[in-house]
Homo-oligomer: A and B are copies of this chain.
Amino acid sequence: MHRFMLTGMSGGEFWLTGDELRHLAVVRLGPGDTVIGFDGEGSYRGVITEVGAERAVCRIEAALPGTGEAAARIYLVMGLAKGEKIEWVIQKGTELGMSGFIPLVTARSIVRPDESRRAAREARRRKIAAEAAKQCGRIRPPAIWPVAAWAELPALLPPDTAYILAWEEEKERSFRAELAQTDWGRPLALLIGPEGGFTPAEAGFAARELKAAPVSLGERVLRSETAALAVLALALGAAGDLG
Contacts and interface: CB of A to CB of B under 8 A. Distances in A.
Interface in A112-157: 135-138
A241 B221 contact: no
Interface stretch (A9-17, A28-36, A228-236): A228-236
A68 B234 contact: no
Interface stretch (A75-83, A91-99, A186-194): A91-99
A135 B195 CA distance: 12
A193 to B, nearest CB: 14
Interface string A208-243: 000000011111111101100110011001001111
B226 A95 contact: yes
Given A92-B223, A95-B226, 11 more contacts: A92-B225, A92-B229, A96-B226, A137-B219, A137-B220, A138-B220, A176-B237, A176-B242, A229-B229, A230-B237, A234-B242
